[in-house]
Amino acid sequence: MEEKELYCTARVKIHPGKLDEFKRLSALCMESARNKDTGTLEYDVFLSDDQSEGMVHERYRDSDSLLQHTANLGELMAAIMKVASFDGEICGTPSPALLKAIEGSGVRLLKLHQSL
């Protein structure tokens, strides 16, 4: 089976009083995606008008690219989880290694129904 790109969306609720720290940490995540990752195709952070919540849209070449991104974030992931809560989904067909990595995380998996 040929592995295709994965699309990810994370919904973010920023904890009260933590906006500046969230912005600082998300900028570091963006920098990591641009400078360390080899298979991250898109990584964009969007904020609501009141900047209390947002979305992160991500696109990866394949499962290994998403696993690399997660590894590259390292301690940044733990730090950002202290200033915001997240839920999200992965759209596509993840590898067995990625399935194992997200097991029990609450990340939802959606598989392609139809494509043109």
How do 6-14 and 84-91 pair as beta strands? Answer: antiparallel
Give, in degrees to the nearest 5, the angle at Cα 60 between 54 and 66: 85
Taking only the tens place, the pLDDT of each residue in 90-99 is 999 999 999 9
Q: How far apart are CA 103 and CA 49, in angstroms?
A: 33
pTM: 0.91
Between CA 87 and CA 42, with CA 94 as vertex, the angle to 5 degrees is 65
Q: Domain range holding 75?
A: 6-110
**Is residue 115 domain-resident?**
no
Count of structural domains, the chain: 1
The CATH number of residue 104's host domain is 3.30.70.100
Tens digits of residue pLDDT in 13-57: 999 999 999 999 999 999 999 999 999 999 999 999 999 999 999
